[in-house]
Amino acid sequence: MGTTSSTRVPERRYGRSSDRDADRTLKIVGAVLGALLLLLVGYFAYHYVGQNKISAQVIAFQAEDDAVSVHLEVHKDAGTSGYCTIRSQAADGSEVGRADFRFTGSATRVDKVVTLRTTARGTTAELLGCHAD
């Protein structure tokens, strides 16, 4: 007697093939969307980090009644020009001064003291950011 074995799975036991097709489609769509998200994050990271050619930090500051002297250390690519924005706040948190300070030239490190004029006595000197031209 010959017996034949069937390679078909029993009906309704392992789910319908349309469910498997939907799962496969969802996996493909998820993989494509995940890859697009990674590309988008990489693009913005490159343009933020790669294009920011000026960075700086406040080393020290000295407050007076109508100004704040700010010691800045700026690192930039040779030949890059741009500016850094600094602000000062009073003891109550109100902003009493804000200004942009330009940096040009071939030096890659600029160590400079700048004066920020204020409308009242400032208690802070905060670097808001630097931008290349």
Q: What is the pLDDT of residues 51-76, one digit of tens each?
A: 557 889 999 999 999 999 999 999 98
Q: pLDDT of 83-116, one tens digit each?
A: 999 999 999 999 999 999 998 888 889 899 999 9
Give the residue among 82, 72, 70, 53 at the shortest CA–CA distance from 110.
Answer: 72
pTM of the model as a whole: 0.59
CATH T-level assignment (fold) for domain 54-132: Immunoglobulin-like (2.60.40)
Residues 107, 94 contacting (CB under 8 angstroms): no
In the chain, domain spans: 15-51, 54-132
Q: What are phi and psi of 132, to 5 degrees?
A: -85, 150
